[in-house]
Amino acid sequence: MKFKLTNIKNYFKRNLHRLAIHLLLTSVGILTVVPYFWSLSTSLKRREDVFTTPPRWFPIPPTIENYLEVFKLAPFGIYLVNTIIVVLGILLLQIFMATTAAYAFSRLNFKGKNFLFILFLIQMMLPVHAIIVPNYLMIKNLGVLNTRIAMMLPFFATGYGTFLLRQAFKQVPRDFEDAALIDGCSSPQIIINVLMPMAKATYVAFSLISIVTHWNDFFWPLVVTDTPQVRTLTVGLAMFVQQESGADWTLLMAATIFVTAPLLILFIVYQRKFIESFMSAGLKG
């Protein structure tokens, strides 16, 4: 009888601890979701429904007129195209350069490899704003100010992506590579047909990090661009807020939701892959 009571007590303690964790996570989730939901609700309301008493959580009736008016007042379509080009351009070059560098650091043997890898990773320790002046001077000397390439060029090399892919490649058994060599594959074919497919989760995680980082980037695009034709969404949103002087909340929330919704949808679709990549990517030396 005593043994059963002990088991019941231990079971209750374990479940109480789990319940507390779930309540904490639920509270954090609600605190995170509520402001975004309120922004979405406001973007679908009429102006006279924003400051009602009591507040209305749901727009009755919902309207998309605010989104249509936002596109009339500012060229958000151009901003979106520019952002997609910049973000995908950076991502493609990062994947190419990080993959080749990671292959060299994980599979090739050459003098000073570890020392060079440490120097390469120093990039991860330098905040972008610390080197913004030399980056700006480089862009200016190249004569590409106020262009999309100006926003992309400083980010083509990525120490973080190289580190992630190096760790992923080192976890792939060399037997697969040896089998590919016996079949007559070259190094590029081994990378494309063997290493990259087996590091798919890492590529997904890095792609999401890169997309979110450069989609939300504000300071660097603001520094190197000064015309609407090449501005990105974040800079365009800031200019739109100044234009509206913070007065029309329905338009401001509509513009904000338009800028942030693609990232939210992207993360919801690929969140499992994103989490799996970090759970499976051990730090093998």
Query: What is the Cα–Cα distance from 152 to 211, expressed in whole angstroms?
Result: 12
Question: 73-280 maps to which CATH number?
Answer: 1.10.3720.10
| CA-to-CA dists, residue 78 to 9, 85, 229, 232, angstroms | 62, 11, 7, 8
* pLDDT confidence of residue 235: 94
Token couple for 153: 């060029």
C-alpha torsion angle, residues 205, 209, 212, 215 (rounded to 10): -120
Q: What is the pLDDT along the chain (285 residues), one digit of tens a residue?
A: 444 556 666 666 667 777 788 888 899 989 988 988 999 999 999 888 888 878 888 888 888 999 999 999 899 999 999 999 999 999 999 999 999 999 999 888 888 888 888 887 787 777 777 889 999 999 999 999 999 999 999 999 888 899 889 988 998 888 888 888 888 888 889 999 999 998 888 898 899 889 999 999 999 999 999 898 999 999 999 988 887 665 688 899 999 999 999 888 888 887 777 676 666 554 444
Token couple for 194: 């063997």
* H helical segments located in 74-199: 76-107, 113-125, 132-142, 148-152, 159-170, 174-182, 187-190, 196-198
Token couple for 164: 């992630």
Domain regions of the chain by residue span: 2-49, 73-280
CB contact set of 42 (below 8 Å; sequence gap of 6+):
50, 249, 250, 253
